[in-house]
Amino acid sequence: MSELLWGAVGDLSRFAALLTMAELGLADHLADGPLEITELAERSGSDAPALRRVMRELAGMDMVRKAGPGTYELTEKGAPLRSDAPGHVRSSIRMLGEESFWYAMGSLPTTVREGSSAFVKRYGHLYDHLAADPAVSDLFDDYMTARALPFIEGLTERYAFPATATMVDVAGGKGHILATVLRANPGMRGILFDLEHVTGHARRTLEEEGLADRSEVVAGDFFTGVPSGADIYLLASVLHNWDDDDAVSILRNVRAAMKPDGRVLVLETVLPPEDEEAHLGNALDLRMLAIFNGGAERDRGEYAALFEQAGLALNEVMTLGAGASLIEARPR
Protein backbone atom coordinates (compact mmCIF):
# COMPACT_ATOMS: atom_id res chain seq x y z
CA MET A 1 0.00 0.00 0.00
CA SER A 2 2.79 2.44 0.87
CA GLU A 3 4.30 1.81 -2.59
CA LEU A 4 0.98 2.81 -4.18
CA LEU A 5 0.73 5.95 -2.06
CA TRP A 6 4.30 7.05 -2.72
CA GLY A 7 3.73 6.39 -6.41
CA ALA A 8 0.82 8.84 -6.32
CA VAL A 9 3.05 11.41 -4.62
CA GLY A 10 5.63 10.96 -7.36
CA ASP A 11 2.98 11.36 -10.05
CA LEU A 12 2.67 15.05 -9.16
CA SER A 13 6.32 15.68 -9.98
CA ARG A 14 6.10 13.58 -13.14
CA PHE A 15 3.11 15.54 -14.37
CA ALA A 16 4.90 18.81 -13.56
CA ALA A 17 7.85 17.63 -15.67
CA LEU A 18 5.49 16.80 -18.57
CA LEU A 19 3.84 20.19 -18.17
CA THR A 20 7.24 21.88 -18.36
CA MET A 21 8.06 19.87 -21.48
CA ALA A 22 4.77 20.95 -23.06
CA GLU A 23 4.94 24.61 -22.03
CA LEU A 24 8.55 25.06 -23.17
CA GLY A 25 7.99 23.17 -26.43
CA LEU A 26 10.92 20.85 -25.70
CA ALA A 27 9.68 18.14 -28.06
CA ASP A 28 9.55 20.69 -30.90
CA HIS A 29 13.10 21.83 -30.18
CA LEU A 30 14.36 18.24 -30.11
CA ALA A 31 12.42 17.17 -33.21
CA ASP A 32 15.37 17.64 -35.58
CA GLY A 33 17.91 15.84 -33.42
CA PRO A 34 19.80 15.84 -30.11
CA LEU A 35 20.69 19.10 -28.38
CA GLU A 36 23.17 19.93 -25.64
CA ILE A 37 21.41 21.26 -22.54
CA THR A 38 22.67 24.85 -22.91
CA GLU A 39 21.45 24.99 -26.53
CA LEU A 40 18.09 23.50 -25.55
CA ALA A 41 17.79 26.06 -22.72
CA GLU A 42 18.58 28.91 -25.10
CA ARG A 43 16.03 27.76 -27.68
CA SER A 44 13.32 27.22 -25.06
CA GLY A 45 14.05 30.43 -23.13
CA SER A 46 14.84 28.62 -19.90
CA ASP A 47 17.54 28.34 -17.25
CA ALA A 48 20.03 25.59 -18.14
CA PRO A 49 20.71 24.23 -14.60
CA ALA A 50 16.98 24.12 -13.81
CA LEU A 51 16.19 22.54 -17.18
CA ARG A 52 18.84 19.85 -16.63
CA ARG A 53 16.99 18.71 -13.50
CA VAL A 54 13.70 18.46 -15.38
CA MET A 55 15.37 16.57 -18.23
CA ARG A 56 16.66 14.02 -15.74
CA GLU A 57 13.08 13.29 -14.64
CA LEU A 58 11.86 13.20 -18.25
CA ALA A 59 14.62 10.74 -19.11
CA GLY A 60 13.43 8.52 -16.26
CA MET A 61 9.98 8.59 -17.85
CA ASP A 62 11.47 7.72 -21.27
CA MET A 63 10.21 10.98 -22.80
CA VAL A 64 13.81 11.84 -23.71
CA ARG A 65 17.10 9.97 -23.49
CA LYS A 66 20.73 10.95 -23.12
CA ALA A 67 22.55 11.06 -26.45
CA GLY A 68 25.91 12.06 -24.94
CA PRO A 69 27.31 14.09 -22.03
CA GLY A 70 24.76 16.79 -21.24
CA THR A 71 22.91 16.06 -24.49
CA TYR A 72 19.35 14.79 -24.92
CA GLU A 73 17.21 13.49 -27.75
CA LEU A 74 13.48 12.90 -28.13
CA THR A 75 12.15 9.35 -27.76
CA GLU A 76 9.19 7.68 -29.43
CA LYS A 77 7.21 8.07 -26.20
CA GLY A 78 7.94 11.79 -26.11
CA ALA A 79 7.14 12.45 -29.77
CA PRO A 80 3.36 12.93 -29.20
CA LEU A 81 4.26 16.12 -27.31
CA ARG A 82 5.36 17.78 -30.55
CA SER A 83 3.04 20.58 -31.67
CA ASP A 84 2.50 18.89 -35.04
CA ALA A 85 1.70 15.46 -33.59
CA PRO A 86 -1.89 14.27 -34.07
CA GLY A 87 -4.06 14.14 -30.99
CA HIS A 88 -3.33 17.52 -29.38
CA VAL A 89 -1.43 15.90 -26.50
CA ARG A 90 0.69 18.97 -25.91
CA SER A 91 -2.37 21.23 -25.69
CA SER A 92 -4.13 18.77 -23.39
CA ILE A 93 -1.28 18.71 -20.89
CA ARG A 94 -1.00 22.49 -21.03
CA MET A 95 -4.74 22.77 -20.36
CA LEU A 96 -4.64 20.50 -17.32
CA GLY A 97 -1.67 22.47 -15.99
CA GLU A 98 -3.16 25.88 -16.78
CA GLU A 99 -3.27 28.09 -13.70
CA SER A 100 -7.01 27.94 -13.06
CA PHE A 101 -7.30 24.18 -13.65
CA TRP A 102 -4.24 23.51 -11.50
CA TYR A 103 -5.87 25.62 -8.79
CA ALA A 104 -9.13 23.68 -9.12
CA MET A 105 -7.57 20.29 -8.48
CA GLY A 106 -5.21 21.58 -5.79
CA SER A 107 -8.19 23.12 -4.00
CA LEU A 108 -10.26 19.93 -4.02
CA PRO A 109 -9.99 19.58 -0.20
CA THR A 110 -11.51 23.07 0.16
CA THR A 111 -14.28 22.17 -2.30
CA VAL A 112 -15.08 19.01 -0.33
CA ARG A 113 -15.05 20.84 3.01
CA GLU A 114 -17.34 23.61 1.79
CA GLY A 115 -19.49 21.61 -0.62
CA SER A 116 -19.00 24.10 -3.44
CA SER A 117 -16.29 24.58 -6.05
CA ALA A 118 -13.28 26.66 -5.02
CA PHE A 119 -12.67 27.14 -8.77
CA VAL A 120 -16.11 28.73 -9.27
CA LYS A 121 -15.61 30.92 -6.21
CA ARG A 122 -12.37 32.33 -7.64
CA TYR A 123 -12.93 32.24 -11.43
CA GLY A 124 -16.70 32.05 -11.90
CA HIS A 125 -18.43 29.48 -14.10
CA LEU A 126 -16.02 27.71 -16.44
CA TYR A 127 -17.65 28.97 -19.64
CA ASP A 128 -17.67 32.58 -18.46
CA HIS A 129 -14.00 32.16 -17.56
CA LEU A 130 -13.23 30.78 -21.02
CA ALA A 131 -15.18 33.51 -22.79
CA ALA A 132 -13.14 36.13 -20.93
CA ASP A 133 -9.76 34.58 -21.80
CA PRO A 134 -9.32 33.60 -25.47
CA ALA A 135 -5.95 31.91 -24.87
CA VAL A 136 -7.39 29.58 -22.23
CA SER A 137 -10.47 29.05 -24.40
CA ASP A 138 -8.30 27.91 -27.32
CA LEU A 139 -6.42 25.50 -25.05
CA PHE A 140 -9.70 24.14 -23.71
CA ASP A 141 -11.10 23.61 -27.22
CA ASP A 142 -7.97 21.69 -28.22
CA TYR A 143 -8.20 19.62 -25.03
CA MET A 144 -11.84 18.73 -25.67
CA THR A 145 -11.00 17.80 -29.27
CA ALA A 146 -8.21 15.52 -28.08
CA ARG A 147 -10.46 13.97 -25.45
CA ALA A 148 -13.03 13.15 -28.13
CA LEU A 149 -10.61 11.59 -30.63
CA PRO A 150 -10.45 8.10 -29.04
CA PHE A 151 -14.21 7.55 -29.26
CA ILE A 152 -15.23 9.55 -32.36
CA GLU A 153 -14.27 6.65 -34.60
CA GLY A 154 -16.26 4.23 -32.47
CA LEU A 155 -19.27 6.53 -32.72
CA THR A 156 -19.38 6.41 -36.52
CA GLU A 157 -18.53 2.71 -36.72
CA ARG A 158 -21.00 1.42 -34.16
CA TYR A 159 -24.00 3.74 -34.36
CA ALA A 160 -26.35 3.48 -37.36
CA PHE A 161 -27.09 7.07 -38.32
CA PRO A 162 -30.11 7.57 -40.61
CA ALA A 163 -28.89 8.14 -44.18
CA THR A 164 -30.51 11.55 -44.72
CA ALA A 165 -30.91 12.87 -41.17
CA THR A 166 -30.15 16.35 -39.91
CA MET A 167 -28.15 16.37 -36.68
CA VAL A 168 -27.67 19.26 -34.26
CA ASP A 169 -24.42 19.06 -32.32
CA VAL A 170 -25.37 20.93 -29.15
CA ALA A 171 -22.36 22.75 -27.65
CA GLY A 172 -20.30 21.18 -30.42
CA GLY A 173 -17.11 23.17 -29.84
CA LYS A 174 -14.77 23.30 -32.82
CA GLY A 175 -16.93 20.85 -34.75
CA HIS A 176 -14.67 17.81 -34.99
CA ILE A 177 -17.36 15.34 -33.93
CA LEU A 178 -19.91 16.80 -36.33
CA ALA A 179 -17.35 16.77 -39.14
CA THR A 180 -16.54 13.11 -38.49
CA VAL A 181 -20.20 12.10 -38.55
CA LEU A 182 -20.89 14.05 -41.76
CA ARG A 183 -17.85 12.59 -43.54
CA ALA A 184 -18.97 9.08 -42.63
CA ASN A 185 -22.59 9.76 -43.70
CA PRO A 186 -22.56 11.76 -46.95
CA GLY A 187 -26.36 12.10 -47.06
CA MET A 188 -26.60 13.81 -43.67
CA ARG A 189 -26.67 17.50 -42.84
CA GLY A 190 -25.44 19.09 -39.63
CA ILE A 191 -25.97 22.15 -37.43
CA LEU A 192 -23.34 23.09 -34.88
CA PHE A 193 -24.83 25.05 -32.00
CA ASP A 194 -22.63 26.77 -29.43
CA LEU A 195 -21.85 30.05 -27.72
CA GLU A 196 -20.86 33.03 -29.86
CA HIS A 197 -17.18 33.01 -28.87
CA VAL A 198 -16.85 29.39 -30.06
CA THR A 199 -18.68 29.52 -33.39
CA GLY A 200 -15.84 31.10 -35.38
CA HIS A 201 -13.62 28.09 -34.68
CA ALA A 202 -16.42 25.74 -35.74
CA ARG A 203 -16.99 27.52 -39.05
CA ARG A 204 -13.29 27.23 -39.88
CA THR A 205 -13.24 23.52 -39.04
CA LEU A 206 -16.24 22.70 -41.20
CA GLU A 207 -14.93 24.80 -44.08
CA GLU A 208 -11.49 23.18 -43.89
CA GLU A 209 -13.16 19.75 -43.93
CA GLY A 210 -15.08 20.68 -47.10
CA LEU A 211 -18.43 20.43 -45.29
CA ALA A 212 -19.66 24.01 -45.46
CA ASP A 213 -22.35 23.06 -48.00
CA ARG A 214 -23.83 20.42 -45.68
CA SER A 215 -23.52 22.26 -42.39
CA GLU A 216 -24.58 25.39 -40.57
CA VAL A 217 -23.22 27.11 -37.48
CA VAL A 218 -25.68 28.76 -35.10
CA ALA A 219 -24.80 30.78 -31.99
CA GLY A 220 -26.99 30.62 -28.92
CA ASP A 221 -27.57 29.43 -25.36
CA PHE A 222 -29.04 25.97 -24.77
CA PHE A 223 -30.80 27.24 -21.64
CA THR A 224 -32.86 29.49 -23.92
CA GLY A 225 -33.44 27.01 -26.73
CA VAL A 226 -31.79 24.98 -29.49
CA PRO A 227 -32.35 24.85 -33.29
CA SER A 228 -35.65 23.11 -34.00
CA GLY A 229 -36.82 20.42 -36.40
CA ALA A 230 -33.79 18.12 -36.51
CA ASP A 231 -33.80 14.33 -36.44
CA ILE A 232 -30.89 13.88 -34.02
CA TYR A 233 -29.54 16.02 -31.18
CA LEU A 234 -26.04 15.17 -29.98
CA LEU A 235 -24.81 16.31 -26.57
CA ALA A 236 -21.15 15.30 -26.18
CA SER A 237 -19.57 16.00 -22.78
CA VAL A 238 -22.33 18.49 -21.98
CA LEU A 239 -24.63 17.14 -19.28
CA HIS A 240 -21.83 16.22 -16.88
CA ASN A 241 -21.06 19.94 -16.51
CA TRP A 242 -24.41 20.68 -14.89
CA ASP A 243 -26.45 19.71 -11.86
CA ASP A 244 -29.61 17.65 -12.30
CA ASP A 245 -31.98 20.64 -12.57
CA ASP A 246 -29.88 22.34 -15.24
CA ALA A 247 -29.32 19.07 -17.12
CA VAL A 248 -33.08 18.49 -17.22
CA SER A 249 -33.62 22.05 -18.48
CA ILE A 250 -31.20 21.44 -21.36
CA LEU A 251 -32.88 18.14 -22.21
CA ARG A 252 -36.35 19.70 -22.07
CA ASN A 253 -35.26 22.35 -24.58
CA VAL A 254 -33.95 19.60 -26.83
CA ARG A 255 -37.17 17.60 -26.41
CA ALA A 256 -39.23 20.65 -27.36
CA ALA A 257 -37.13 21.28 -30.49
CA MET A 258 -36.86 17.76 -31.90
CA LYS A 259 -39.11 15.99 -34.37
CA PRO A 260 -41.74 13.64 -32.88
CA ASP A 261 -39.70 10.63 -34.03
CA GLY A 262 -36.31 12.19 -33.27
CA ARG A 263 -33.64 10.94 -30.96
CA VAL A 264 -31.13 12.32 -28.49
CA LEU A 265 -27.57 11.00 -28.38
CA VAL A 266 -25.56 11.69 -25.23
CA LEU A 267 -21.82 11.03 -25.23
CA GLU A 268 -20.60 10.76 -21.66
CA THR A 269 -18.76 8.51 -19.27
CA VAL A 270 -21.31 6.22 -17.62
CA LEU A 271 -20.25 5.21 -14.13
CA PRO A 272 -20.40 1.58 -13.05
CA PRO A 273 -23.08 0.71 -10.48
CA GLU A 274 -20.61 -0.29 -7.74
CA ASP A 275 -18.50 2.39 -6.02
CA GLU A 276 -15.65 -0.02 -5.41
CA GLU A 277 -15.04 -0.74 -9.10
CA ALA A 278 -12.02 1.08 -10.58
CA HIS A 279 -13.18 3.21 -13.50
CA LEU A 280 -11.90 6.22 -15.44
CA GLY A 281 -15.20 7.93 -14.70
CA ASN A 282 -14.33 8.17 -11.02
CA ALA A 283 -11.32 10.39 -11.83
CA LEU A 284 -13.38 12.47 -14.25
CA ASP A 285 -16.07 12.84 -11.61
CA LEU A 286 -13.55 14.43 -9.24
CA ARG A 287 -12.65 16.89 -12.01
CA MET A 288 -16.33 17.78 -12.35
CA LEU A 289 -16.55 18.22 -8.58
CA ALA A 290 -13.54 20.54 -8.61
CA ILE A 291 -14.53 22.73 -11.57
CA PHE A 292 -18.34 22.97 -11.39
CA ASN A 293 -21.00 23.48 -8.78
CA GLY A 294 -23.21 20.45 -9.33
CA GLY A 295 -21.38 18.93 -12.30
CA ALA A 296 -21.00 15.15 -12.07
CA GLU A 297 -20.52 11.92 -13.96
CA ARG A 298 -23.58 9.68 -13.63
CA ASP A 299 -24.56 6.03 -13.86
CA ARG A 300 -27.20 4.56 -16.17
CA GLY A 301 -30.01 4.91 -13.66
CA GLU A 302 -29.23 8.57 -13.03
CA TYR A 303 -29.27 9.33 -16.77
CA ALA A 304 -32.56 7.47 -17.12
CA ALA A 305 -34.04 9.67 -14.39
CA LEU A 306 -32.90 12.86 -16.14
CA PHE A 307 -34.45 11.71 -19.41
CA GLU A 308 -37.74 10.81 -17.76
CA GLN A 309 -38.07 14.29 -16.24
CA ALA A 310 -37.46 15.80 -19.70
CA GLY A 311 -40.08 13.67 -21.47
CA LEU A 312 -37.58 11.22 -22.90
CA ALA A 313 -36.87 7.53 -22.37
CA LEU A 314 -33.46 5.90 -22.28
CA ASN A 315 -33.35 3.39 -25.12
CA GLU A 316 -29.79 2.06 -25.25
CA VAL A 317 -26.30 2.49 -23.77
CA MET A 318 -23.43 1.59 -26.08
CA THR A 319 -19.80 1.42 -24.89
CA LEU A 320 -17.44 3.17 -27.30
CA GLY A 321 -14.11 2.70 -25.55
CA ALA A 322 -11.72 5.16 -23.88
CA GLY A 323 -14.16 5.27 -20.97
CA ALA A 324 -16.96 6.78 -23.08
CA SER A 325 -20.48 5.56 -23.78
CA LEU A 326 -23.18 6.58 -26.22
CA ILE A 327 -26.64 6.87 -24.65
CA GLU A 328 -29.65 7.00 -26.95
CA ALA A 329 -32.96 8.45 -25.76
CA ARG A 330 -36.24 8.87 -27.61
CA PRO A 331 -39.48 10.76 -26.86
CA ARG A 332 -41.77 9.06 -24.36
Instruction: Give the CATH number for residue 51.
Output: 1.10.10.10
Single residue among 46, 61, 85 that ends a domain in this structure: 85
**286 within some domain:** yes
The residues pairing with 319 across neighbouring beta strands, listed in sequence order, are 325
> Does residue 198 surpass a pLDDT of 90?
no
> Does residue 29 surpass a pLDDT of 60?
yes
**20 within some domain:** yes
**16 within some domain:** yes
45 with 188, same domain?
no
135 with 71, same domain?
no
119 with 263, same domain?
yes
235 vs 194: CA distance, rounded Å: 11
**6 within some domain:** yes
38 with 130, same domain?
no
113 with 69, same domain?
no
Single residue among 53, 85, 117 that ends a domain in this structure: 85
Of 290, 317, 310, which is closest to residue 102 (Cα–Cα)? Answer: 290
124 with 254, same domain?
yes
**264 within some domain:** yes
CATH code at position 196:
3.40.50.150
221 with 324, same domain?
yes
Residue 251's pLDDT is 98
23 vs 83: CA distance, rounded Å: 11
pLDDT by residue (tens digit) across 229-258?
Answer: 999 999 999 999 999 999 999 999 999 999
306 with 277, same domain?
yes
Our count of domains for the chain comes to: 2
Confidence tier at 1 by pLDDT (50, 70, 90): low
Owning domain of residue 70: 2-85
Which of left, alpha, beta for 87 (phi over 0: left; psi -120 to 50: alpha)? Answer: left
Contacts of 32 (CB under 8 A, 6+ apart): none
pTM to 2 decimals? Answer: 0.87
**287 within some domain:** yes
> Does residue 85 surpass a pLDDT of 70?
yes
188 with 322, same domain?
yes
Count of Cβ atoms closer than 10 Å to residue 321 Cβ? 11
264 vs 132: CA distance, rounded Å: 31
> Active-site residues: which are they?
240
Residue 59's pLDDT is 97
**90 within some domain:** no
27 with 136, same domain?
no
66 with 190, same domain?
no
Helix, strand, coil percentages (3-state) for the chain, rounded to 5, are 55, 20, 30
26 with 139, same domain?
no
Angle, alpha carbons 314-246-231 (nearest 5°): 45
Contacts of 23 (CB under 8 A, 6+ apart): 94, 97
- Across the range 263-280, mean pLDDT stands at 85
**120 within some domain:** yes
Single residue among 60, 85, 110 that ends a domain in this structure: 85
Q: What percent of the chain has pLDDT over 90?
A: 79
313 vs 142, which has greater pLDDT? 313
Residue 264's pLDDT is 98
Which amino acid does the sequence have at 177? I
